Amino acid sequence: MQLKLTYNEVQKMIASKSGKELPMCFGGPHTLRISHKVPLMGSVGLDINVDRIEGSDVILSFGGGAAIEYMLRAALSQAKNQPGGDMVEMLGGNQLLLALGKNPNTSALFQNIQLQDIHFDEQSIMIDFVPKA
């Protein structure tokens, strides 16, 4: 089974929840390109790669060096105080852990499905899953 969301749908969801615009686009079959306007710096781009899936956890990696890692750490420390902020954790080696099962809205879902893949095309994010037996 597959859930397909357009970049525009996801951008609108993020903007409605956070008040921030995060333009995103295709960067490769497992890479999402995100840009963000940073005061005094202009637009900063970030490529996020889906490395692997372990149960309801998605391991992501990102490029961009120390400056991007610093900004991500700062953003994640601010997000920790928000609902669902504990879903994202920095790992070593420019990796992030996205713990989808920690969200009360999705934890029950992962009792019934197994996440298989997250991939991208020119217009959409696709999430592949199968029902658990």
Pairing of strands 113-120, 124-131: antiparallel
Residue 61: partners with Cβ closer than 8 Å, 6 or more residues away: 48, 49, 51, 93, 94, 95, 96
Structurally, how many domains does the chain consist of?
A: 1
Integer Cα distance of 83 and 94 in angstroms: 24
Provide the pLDDT for residue 46: 84
Range of the domain at 89: 2-131
What is the share, in percent, of the chain residues with pLDDT greater than 70? 99
- Which residue's structure tokens are 């934890």? 107
Mean pLDDT of all residues in the chain?
87
Whether the predicted pLDDT of 122 surpasses 80 = yes
DSSP state of 25: E
Q: What is the pTM of this model?
A: 0.83
- For the stretch 37-90, pLDDT in tens is 777 767 777 899 999 999 999 999 988 777 777 778 887 887 777 777 788 888
Give the mean model confidence (pLDDT) for residues 79-108: 84
Per-residue confidence (pLDDT) for residue 130, from 0 to 100: 95
Q: Identify residue 73 by its one-letter amino acid code.
A: R
DSSP output for 35-55: EEEETTTEEEEEEEEEEEEET
